[in-house]
Structure 1
């Protein structure tokens, strides 16, 4: 419930603090006094579009703060907790404070319980706190999508609507994916065929990673095998196998001579040790050279095979515009791409079943939604018709036509096309509401629907901004009774110019404006019973208040 609204430097409001109460509150005032300004300010606070013109002239910033008691709104409390705007330990705190500031340059900031938030969160929270019905809503009533929204609001089946919406989105997402895959399949078939040919060719050749480097190394060794054998044999002869003066024999002679000398001078011992190590190294090198000789192949066939495989590798590399040593990497890349295209084809082959299942799920939920709407439509039609009779349309009839067709009307709201039908006079067939209702009749029908659907909204605060335009006399009295009845269980704020409506309110506020230091200032104050009588008399008789109008006002207020 809205408990307080504080406005500063908004439009023609300098500074204004308004306390609100339960039940129905009527807001009245002179024409042009700004009766709707407080509601416009509340709309800004709840996330409406901000414009720099809203800032009072010669002011730097406008500010609107709205306080709500959310004690009996567990969903709002849970929302605040989930968005870290209310601690679990603070559940006993009943207040939710929303603040919006707007600079003269058009920059705005938003806060919930002191925490800065994006405006989108204000709108989300505002939609859980306040329902606004404007004087131009009857124009929206001409649109079938608005009629559907009103019927769903009256049916109060948001949970089922959410399931239908989710099922529809899942179904359409699969359809879009299938369409995309079909387009890709058509566009990429030639690419897939090329990839298949290339992968098969590279599969047949089957060049392993780093194999080309091995081929190059083997080719170099095989092509120079005879020279390698000659060099290794020459080295063996020089080191060990030569009959005269090989390195090992000469080294042994040196060691023998120095061993004798080392007995005379111990300073030679380190050098003798080094020469012994060198002798060991020569013996080891000799063994390794002999082993190497055994491994060198003079094999023309092996050389030819190596040259052939290298030649094929270079041809394929040239064909694929890559280096021979990167051919294996390219092979893996092409296989991956082909696998992805193949998986896409397999996914496409399996999608018909998934789409049928998703469509059937949507159809089942949508059919349940259609049944709910049929039941709600019959109930709404009866109640609107009864209300029309009370609103001085004794022969009026109202009904809701629902046509269900999944192929033609499937959307996130189900499979139904809804039309509001009305007959305003006896003997007239029911027709779409925009074809048979006059402006005044349309206003009354719209008002009846708004009041009836608002009662199903489960929102704590409902605002009616001059929705009684176009009605008067006994009809106006009925409107007042309807709004008061609605105010028994909800907080109802009603901007009105009709004394019959204002008199039915539990409390009444008066909006006035005056000039101060050359500036226009709007103010709003709660009226006492005596002041209410004076204001009702003004609404009844204009600026001239007589004993007769005062008596009528007292009678209205007492009734």
Structure 2
């Protein structure tokens, strides 16, 4: 409900503050005094568009602010989803600059107009004969039936579960897309993995292969050179070892004469031993060195394979190729895991749908049972409001099992006919402004017993009614205002006397400029205002007494 409305520099309003009753507030005033302007300001707070023509003083900005008690409206999720600070006493502010630009805030958080409008629809329903009503909204119509079925908590629980189900569906869709995209490249990944796996790469083998490749490539040269060296050392006409032996023999005959010569002799003997060993090793290496074209071909092929894989994957070592192989294997396994996850999630979604369908059918049965009660109570109340021939029906189209929605399987539509003998039709096609106003009053009033409904503002719905019917309309408003906040602009004393608060809108001249003001009437002022509504500008004693009687009966 709205607790307070503050208007600054709007249209012909310089400054205005209103504190509304929690129940029924009445607004009266002469035609053209500015009552509709106040509603226009309220509309801007609720998300309607504006321009610089809305300014009272063109060199100052317009500021409109409403304070709302939203503690019973279950709007925490809405605030959380839209990243707005929640407060039971929420402040909505709208500012219009001198150049026509507009800004909106909810609890000091900037919001766009579409979000403000979405919130506003849940706070206040302004109704005049020229505006589209919430009553035509199928979600509201379903909410009315749910209220009569008294299963609102079950409906909210179902909605929460349905939203979770839709998130599971979205996750499944994402996984399937991911799987399809993966399968488009899985053949290529498998080919790469198989190629690396078949290569049977071993860390360090590239270096060994390259060494062997060098030996095999130069085997003839190596074998020939080794043989030549051995020939020089141990064979030939004057082999080195034979000459060294002769040199040792000559020196050894002299070592007894000089210790230095003895040392040289020892060194020569050591050299002889080392050269013999070298010669033997050279001979062995020469024997072992084989010219093997087949082995060289195998080694060359292996080295080429490794190099080609490195070039292909832009890597420089076998270790990196092995890491790539492991990475490819992990990716391929993940696709297998993804298929398992899809299968598991699909089974869970089917299970959730089965549960949701069961709950939806239960809700549908309860709604169907409540429809007769809705129709009966609305028709009875319409008779009290003067629509004695009215027909009201609730049409429920039950969807197929595979068409679950966030509200279940039911599509509710209100049908109406004000005249006997005419088939009830969609509200937008058959109801006049006055008829629709009274129908809406009946439905919303009855619904207020079960649901926390938005504040409803009636803008002169008394058009076309008078006398006893007006009194009944006032009684209904007064009764339903016990469960919801109602604000009514009226010209009828029978309705004006029913309010807990009575505001009077008037024009005044200040410094040669006309502006709209509003004041809350005292008891005496209220008696005079109702008397004037009964008899004219200068009410007589009988009108005063009649006004007092109306107020006394109302309370």
SS at match of 1:520: strand
Q: 2:375 aligns with which of 381, 387, 391?
A: 381
Q: Bigger shift: 148-157 or 368-377?
A: 148-157
Q: What aligned pairs does 1:489-508 form with structure 2 within 5 A after superposition?
A: 489-508=483-502
Deviation at 1:550, TM superposition (A): 5.1
The separation in 1 between residues aligned to 2:4 and 2:346, in whole angstroms, is 57
The separation in 2 between residues aligned to 1:76 and 1:353, in whole angstroms, is 33
Change (3 A) 1:74 1:471: closer
Q: 1:339 aligns with which of 333, 341, 344?
A: 333
Alignment match, 1:462? 455
Deviation at 1:18, TM superposition (A): 2.5
Deviation at 1:510, TM superposition (A): 0.7
Is residue 2:354 matched to residue 1:360?
A: yes
Alignment match, 1:257? none
Alignment match, 1:370? 364
Deviation at 1:201, TM superposition (A): 2.8
Alignment match, 2:103? 108
Q: Is the 8 A contact 2:125 2:134 kept in 1?
A: no
Q: Is the 8 A contact 2:92 2:104 kept in 1?
A: no
The separation in 1 between residues aligned to 2:438 and 2:343, in whole angstroms, is 57
Change (3 A) 1:213 1:551: farther
Alignment match, 1:250? none
Alignment match, 1:118? 110
Deviation at 1:45, TM superposition (A): 4.9
> How many residue pairs get matched?
495
Deviation at 1:472, TM superposition (A): 0.8
Q: Bigger shift: 128-137 or 512-521?
A: 128-137
Deviation at 1:525, TM superposition (A): 0.5
Q: Is the 8 A contact 1:409 1:416 kept in 2?
A: no
Is residue 2:297 matched to residue 1:310?
A: no
Q: Is the 8 A contact 1:391 1:475 kept in 2?
A: yes
The separation in 1 between residues aligned to 2:68 and 2:411, in whole angstroms, is 38
The separation in 2 between residues aligned to 1:339 and 1:396, in whole angstroms, is 69
Alignment match, 2:234? none
- RMSD (Å), alpha carbons: 4.7
Change (3 A) 1:374 1:304: same
CA displacement 1:90-145 (0-9 Å, x = unmatched): xxxx9766655443342436363xxx323379959977994434225665544534
Q: Is the 8 A contact 1:76 1:125 kept in 2?
A: no
SS at match of 1:488: coil
Alignment match, 1:477? 471
Is residue 2:20 matched to residue 1:20?
A: yes
Change (3 A) 1:64 1:117: same
Structure 1 unaligned residues grouped into runs of 5+ = 87-93, 235-241, 246-289
Alignment match, 1:512? 506
SS at match of 2:303: helix
The separation in 2 between residues aligned to 1:362 and 1:212, in whole angstroms, is 63
Alignment match, 1:256? none
The separation in 1 between residues aligned to 2:315 and 2:124, in whole angstroms, is 71
The separation in 1 between residues aligned to 2:183 and 2:20, in whole angstroms, is 69
State the TM-score, normalizing by the size of structure 1.
0.71
Change (3 A) 1:504 1:358: same
Alignment match, 2:447? 453
The separation in 2 between residues aligned to 1:58 and 1:344, in whole angstroms, is 64
Is residue 2:404 matched to residue 1:410?
A: yes
Change (3 A) 1:216 1:538: farther
The separation in 1 between residues aligned to 2:73 and 2:56, in whole angstroms, is 37
Change (3 A) 1:202 1:13: same
For the pair shown, the structure with the greater C-alpha radius of gyration is: 2
SS at match of 2:392: strand
Deviation at 1:14, TM superposition (A): 0.7
Is residue 2:518 matched to residue 1:524?
A: yes
The separation in 1 between residues aligned to 2:76 and 2:340, in whole angstroms, is 48
Change (3 A) 1:11 1:401: same
The separation in 1 between residues aligned to 2:89 and 2:165, in whole angstroms, is 42
State the TM-score, normalizing by the size of structure 2.
0.71
Deviation at 1:393, TM superposition (A): 1.6
Q: What aligned pairs does 1:385-400 form with structure 2 within 5 A after superposition?
A: 385-400=379-394
SS at match of 1:335: helix
The separation in 2 between residues aligned to 1:438 and 1:358, in whole angstroms, is 45
Change (3 A) 1:67 1:201: closer
Q: 1:443 aligns with which of 432, 437, 450?
A: 437
Deviation at 1:49, TM superposition (A): 5.9
Q: 2:198 aligns with which of 192, 195, 204?
A: 204
The separation in 2 between residues aligned to 1:149 and 1:7, in whole angstroms, is 33
Is residue 2:185 matched to residue 1:191?
A: yes
The separation in 2 between residues aligned to 1:369 and 1:515, in whole angstroms, is 59
The separation in 2 between residues aligned to 1:223 and 1:542, in whole angstroms, is 125
SS at match of 1:523: strand
Alignment match, 2:35? 35
Q: Is the 8 A contact 1:55 1:61 kept in 2?
A: yes
Q: What aligned pairs does 1:231-242 form with structure 2 within 5 A after superposition?
A: none
The separation in 1 between residues aligned to 2:77 and 2:435, in whole angstroms, is 42
SS at match of 1:307: helix
The separation in 2 between residues aligned to 1:298 and 1:537, in whole angstroms, is 132
Alignment match, 1:151? 145
Change (3 A) 1:195 1:80: closer
Change (3 A) 1:10 1:436: closer
Alignment match, 1:284? none
Alignment match, 1:270? none
SS at match of 1:493: strand
Deviation at 1:384, TM superposition (A): 0.9
Q: Is the 8 A contact 1:36 1:465 kept in 2?
A: no
